[in-house]
Amino acid sequence: MSSAYNPAILELGNVSFSYTQGSHVIKDLSFSVSSGAFIGLLGANGSGKSTILKLSSGILKPASGTVTLWAKNMYSFKHKDRAKLICYLPQTLDITVPFRIQELVSMGLYPYDVPPAMAVDEALELVGLRDKAQAYLVDLSGGERRRVFIAMTLVQGAGLLLLDEPLANLDIKFQFELISLLKHLQEERNISVVMALHDINMALKFEKIMLIKNGSILGFGSPEEVLTESEIRNAFDITVTIRQHPEGKAYVYYE
Amino acid sequence: MPKIKIALLIALLFSVCILALFLGPRGINPLDLSDIDRTIVFSIRLPRVLISLLMGMALGASGAVLQGILRNPLADPYILGISSGASLFAAFGIIMGFSFIGTFTIPALAFTGAILTGVIVGIIGRKKGGIWPERLLLAGVGLSFLFSALLMLMLSLSSDEGLRRSVLWIFGDLSLSEWSRIPYGSVFILAGLLLAMTRAKALNALILGDELAHSLGFSPHTERLVLFVSVGLMTAASVSLGGMIGFIGLLVPHIIRFFMGADSKVLIPAAALGGGVLLCVADLISRSVLPPMELPAGIVTAIIGSPYFLYLLRRKNVLSI
Amino acid sequence: MEKGEDEVNQGAILSPRREDFFLEGERELTMTVFGSQRNFSTVLNSFCCILAPRLPGSNSQGCRRFIQLRTVTENFLICLKTAFFFFSLFTLYSLFLTNASADNAPERIISLAPSTTEILFALGLGEKIVGVTSFCDYPVEAREKAKIGGMSNPSLEAVLSLQPDIVVMTTDGNPKEFEARLRSLNIRTYVFTARRIRELPVAIRDMGRVLGAEEPSRMLSAEIEKAISRLGNNRPSDSRKKKVLFIVWPEPLIVAGPGTAIDDALDLLGVENIAGNAKTAYPKYSIEEVLYQSPDVIFIGKGMQANMREVSRGLLHKLGLVPAVKNGSVFFVSDSLYRLGPRIIKGIEELETCLK
């Protein structure tokens, strides 16, 4: 699945995981993420999307199997070195302490003893929040908050972003803004993105989709390959029709 | 900008110290010291001022750290049961009439009790290889109920002199300050403070949540343990120096956040300085308003601090909670 | 810890768990409460007594008591003025005293305060005592008596189960509500109201009459009166008044202030209590102020206790410049003056010996 030109930066091999004894949330999962990938993680609630992201970021340790980052065991990295390569943003960012945007984005520098390439200002510029550097996080809209943390990951300089439902609770406008920002970063800076999401129609715009059910991969490939009517029914237990938009794009019609 | 504010706070701290040395129930002219004045300034006021600074710093800083690691704006250094552990041990020592190391016996017992409680809370708060904020908080609250009950039981069973001494100790105050207590007090408090300040970045990350902290290159459980140890050291030393003083640990960190932001790198030293200033001023007031009587400093901290805090809460449009 | 007052002025103590926390202010509070109609009628009754002091039908102890105090100036106008002044005071007196009468001497007595326990023993009523508080430790026989709880929280059930003929209480530490509760259960009560040394002889005589120990009470009162008047005659002239501090507890520094038996004793001895101008009875005192006031003599109460010297060492070190410490005039004395009872005389004499 990883192309010959792009080496795998993250690889999960036969990973199993369970929160409680006996019942496996993730069973025998294997996949790899190559450099510059833009992957959507799709699946019903409780299918294991978040768990997969947490396993990939090293927050959770698998019961069995291997997680490798840049061909090295994930857990052999020092915390700070790992943080320079991979970055995970949780779904809920409920931070009520009055941090300023500037302060938050600068926290991306924490893994470094010597400041890295991208300055805080530059990152804020990229996400379009430069003039709000001194604002408080609590005063920003949901979309802006997401962008603050994206800026933080940019400063952190990790090549792989693992985002857990970054589109949740966002207006459709902000959803598109965020996606295009991430696409832009992917193209400009060769940043790989793995993102869990809900919206099947949004997933159709991704390069690659991983469809999850009960902790296993149903399909991993382009949206056209993976998101067939039968697979969607299998994954989500709903009946849908895939229709062709007059201008050529496919869309999912819920019945 | 934060550096200027910190410098201002330090200047404020020094001027408050000078004031506290020469003001009081009776003012003292520093240029014309009589024998009695000299005794008062050097043997009574100076150790008292230093202890109030140390205690205030410990409480302010540990409040700031604790609110961060527990991710709870209502946390204060006494919530983890450390103080009730200290009280229980001190009262036990007093009622039993222990005195193996002279006047140090009771502070030493209190310190032991506080540290022991901290360790128990830490052990109960531990699960799946890490310390969890909610477990820590609930373990602390539960343990402090248990210890308070045991303390009450002990106090109700002792009908002699020990009872009065225990009660006075628990609600103790700064009039007990002596030079001999300063060395050990400052060692533990400064050690805890330094530990907390070196882990300020980790504290910031922990405030963002364990997952983000992990993502930023910290091990949440290790960092929380280290910070918890620093809080334990500071709180234990502070309680053993002069009993329980309310308000500072809870509200000083919030007041500092109003003015200097929430960044722990600034917040921890600033809350320490702010706590020191507040307790020093409160103690000055408590021994000066009703001479020749003295009020407990904890009452004054709350009386001057709470309305100011509420005023800030109304004025400033920054939500800190 | 026998006297609730010791802790009262510790502002930090907010929870009234033990007798120690019983607030002195409660007495003042109760005086101003004229809630029920019954209270009001007793007030009226007392009022009538003042207007007609020799009214034959008056059976109120409070009135008699008042009349005794006022025999020198039986003047109608003064009575009227004082009536208003003591209006609230009388509510309490009459409330407390209406149930006590000398008709039949009680055989089973419960004492709800260490001071009254001591007086009862001194009056030879020790055999009749069936219950005391857990704080009653003097004389030694008192420790053998059944315990009914503390001063501020006596157990009603314990009191009832001992089937007392009368319950002796004090305004200095017992809750007024408890007295009301007992009376509502038709248990006789007697309330000992003296709080100063000069009030003690009269109060003891009154108590003796009610409890059927008139002769011993007269003797005890006379003894106390004799001591008071002897001291009154021997008082040194004001110009050479010694300054004295009586320390109740050294760390933190709690001293005997105004309104205490200790303050009265110091006054009788013709010395000046430097804490006499404090705002409360047992203030937490400023060490600096002691240095400035530089007392000539320092007494430390309960000095017979093993650790008191140890505990006081730090304080006395700080007070090194004070004349009392420099000249070795620091005396560890007993706790005889802590309770307003028969041991007062002994306590005064103890101080007197030290002051010579």
Q: And the tokens for A149? A: 């943390």
pLDDT of residue C65: 41
Residues C57 and C114 in one domain: no
pLDDT at residue C317, rounded to an integer: 87
- Residues in A touching B212 (Cβ below 8 Å): 88-90, 93, 149
Structural domains in chain C (count):
3
Q: Are residues C75 and C136 in the same domain?
A: no
What is the reported pLDDT for B9? Answer: 92
Q: Are residues C293 and C345 in the same domain?
A: yes
**Average pLDDT, stretch B145-156?**
88
B147 Cα to chain C: minimum distance (Å):
16
Sort out which chain B residues have CB atoms less than 8 A from A83's CB and list them.
215-217
Of A132-146, B162-176, C41-55, the range with the lowest mean pLDDT is: C41-55
Of the three residues C230, C254, C279, the one that is the final residue of a domain is: C230
| Res. B304 pLDDT band, cuts 50 70 90 | confident
Q: Residue A157 corresponds to which amino acid?
A: G
Radius of gyration of chain C (CA): 21
Q: What percent of chain B has pLDDT over 90?
A: 29
Name the B residues in 174-203 with CB < 8 Å from any C CB: 175-176, 178
Binned at pLDDT 50, 70 and 90, residue A153 comes out as: confident
pLDDT tens digits, residue range B206-248?
998 888 899 888 988 889 889 989 998 999 899 888 888 888 8
Question: Nearest CA to CA, how far is B221 from chain C (Å)?
Answer: 38
Query: Is B216–A111 a contact, with Cβ atoms under 8 angstroms apart?
Result: yes
CA distance C219 to C197: 16
B290 CB-near residues (< 8 Å, 6+ apart): C279
Q: How far is CA A69 from CA A73, A113, A157, A193, in A?
A: 6, 22, 15, 14
> C87: which strand partners?
none
- For residue A205, what pLDDT is reported? 79
Residue B82 has pLDDT above 60, yes or no: yes
Average pLDDT over residues A122-139: 83
Please give the residue of chain B at the shortest CA–CA distance from A153: B216
**Least CB-CB distance to B176: which of C1, C6, C251?**
C251
Q: What's the pLDDT at C59?
A: 40
Chain A to chain B, count of Cβ pairs less than 8 Å apart?
85
Residue A230 is part of a domain; what is its CATH number? 3.40.50.300
Summary mean pLDDT of chain B: 85
Q: Is the pLDDT of residue A112 over 90?
A: no
Angle between helices C344-355 and C214-233 (to 10 degrees): 20
Domain count for chain A, please give it. 1
Cβ pair C344, C261 in contact under 8 A? yes
Residues of chain C with pLDDT under 50: 1-73, 76-77, 79-80, 82, 90-92, 94-95, 98-102
Last residue of a domain, one of C209, C230, C251: C230
Q: Measured between CA atoms, how close is A18 to chain B, in angstroms?
A: 13
Q: How far is CA B233 from CA A49, B62, B279, in A?
A: 42, 9, 19
Q: What pLDDT score was predicted for residue C236? A: 65
Beta-carbon neighbour count of residue B129 at 10 Å? 7
CA distance A91 to chain B (A): 10
Residue predicted with more confidence, C325 or B1: C325
Q: Does the beta carbon of A110 lie under 8 angstroms from any beta carbon of chain B?
A: yes
Dihedrals phi, psi of A112, to nearest 5 degrees: -105, 140
Rounded Cα–Cα distance for residues A177 and B134 (Å)? 36
How would CATH label the architecture of B2-19+39-314?
Answer: Orthogonal Bundle (1.10)
pLDDT for C109 equals 94
B207 at interface of A, judged by CB pairs closer than 8 A: yes
Give the separation between CA C227 and CA C204, rounded to whole angstroms. 15
pLDDT score of B49: 93
Gap from C81 CA to chain B (nearest CA, Å): 34
Q: In whole angstroms, give the CA distance from residue C121 to residue C234.
A: 30
Mean pLDDT on A238-251: 71
Same-domain check for residues C225 and C263:
no
Range of the structural domain that residue A162 is part of: 2-254
Enter the tokens of residue A142.
């949901």
Residue A81: count other Cβ atoms within 10 Å of its Cβ: 13
Any idea what the CATH number is for the domain that residue C252 is in?
3.40.50.1980
Give the integer Cα–Cα distance in Å for B239 and B59: 9
Whether A133 and chain B come into contact, CB under 8 Å, resolves to no
Best mutation target among B128, B203, B215, B258 (most A Cβ atoms within 10 Å) is B215
Which range marks the domain in which residue C121 is found? 109-230
- The predicted pLDDT at position A15 comes to 82
Percent of chain A with pLDDT over 70: 92
**Least confidently predicted of A101-115, A231-245, B139-153:** A231-245
Tell me how many degrees the CA angle B124-B125-B130 measures, rounded to the nearest 5.
120
pLDDT tens digits along B18-30: 999 998 888 888 8
Which of C252, C286, C293 lies at the smallest CB-CB distance from B176?
Answer: C252
Which candidate from B24, B167, B176 shows the least CB-CB separation from C288? B24
* Per-residue pLDDT tens digits for B13-70: 999 999 999 988 888 888 888 888 888 888 889 999 999 999 999 999 999 999 998 8
Contact yes or no for C139/C118 (Cβ under 8 A):
yes
Q: Global pTM?
A: 0.77
Domain end marker among C71, C103, C135: C103
Whether residue C114 has a cis bond before it, omega within 30° of 0: no
Per-residue pLDDT tens over the stretch A33-69: 888 888 888 887 878 888 888 888 888 888 888 888 8
Question: Number of residue pairs across B and C with CB atoms under 8 Å?
Answer: 112
**Contact: chain C with chain B (3+ CB pairs below 8 Å):** yes
CA distance B260 to B6: 9
Return the biggest CA–CA distance within chain B: 65
Same domain, C196 and C129: yes
Bridge partners for A164 per DSSP = A196
> Are C302 and B161 within 8 A, CB to CB?
yes
Question: Torsion-angle region of residue A67: left (phi > 0), alpha (psi -120 to 50) or beta?
Answer: beta
Distance CA C270, CA C264 (A): 10
From CA C137, how far away is CA C120, in angstroms rounded? 13
Per-residue model confidence (pLDDT) at position C270: 87
- CB C10, CB C23: distance < 8 Å: no
H or E stretch covering C222: helix C214-233
